[in-house]
Amino acid sequence: MSKKKKFELTDQQKKYVVYALLGVSAFLVIRKLKDWLKKPAKETIKDVIEEADRLKKQGVESTRSLGQWKLVADSIYNSMKSSATSDNKSNIEKQLKMVQNDLDFLLLTQAYGLRQHYIFAIPDGDKTTLIGQIATGELSDKRIKSINSNYATKGIKFRF
């Protein structure tokens, strides 16, 4: 009769197996979180488009065309895309205050779409919406309060 040899790991090998399992688990969790974080930004844009269409059907008119809002969105993006070196906070605030009604804000958000932010020419996280980028601390509290006050005066529902 032959004896079957049991497979046993040394304590050191057991540690390596645990580390490998932890590493794979962490990778999978991070990957899933990244997917969850990307999804809302894309859904936000979809929701914005649907809401803009609803407002248009109700007779709300934008003060600018979508093409003009794309130019405003480009100006905002160019003013904040290199945050570590050359942000132009006053231009961002000025451009955001061009919004005159809820439809304008939705069209500006739609025109901005999803864009990449950079720090020293290195991508900083995933692409985000205008709302997401402003919410990450792009503007000071004073500027945010000024924009929100401006929106309130105009009857715009959205606040940063």
- Over residues 70-86, the pLDDT tens digits come to 999 999 998 887 655 56
Domain spans of the chain, in order of start: 40-154
Residues 6+ apart with CB under 8 A from 131: 44, 109, 160
pLDDT level of residue 134 (50, 70, 90 thresholds): confident
Is the separation of the CB atoms in 76 and 112 below 8 Å? yes
The beta strand positions in the chain, using DSSP E, are 118-119, 122-123
Q: Residue 85's pLDDT is what?
A: 55
Cα 49 to Cα 39, 40, 105, 114, 127, distances in angstroms? 16, 14, 11, 13, 18
Q: Residue 3's pLDDT is what?
A: 65
pLDDT (mean) for 5-29: 80
Burial environment of residue 57 by CB neighbours within 10 A (0 to 12, 13 to 18, 19 or more): exposed
* pTM over cut 0.85: no
Q: What is the DSSP letter of 82?
A: B
Q: Residue 35's pLDDT is what?
A: 57
Of residues 65 and 30, more confidence is placed in 65
- Element containing residue 91 per DSSP (H, E): helix 89-96
- Over residues 20-50, the pLDDT tens digits come to 887 877 776 666 655 555 556 777 888 889 9
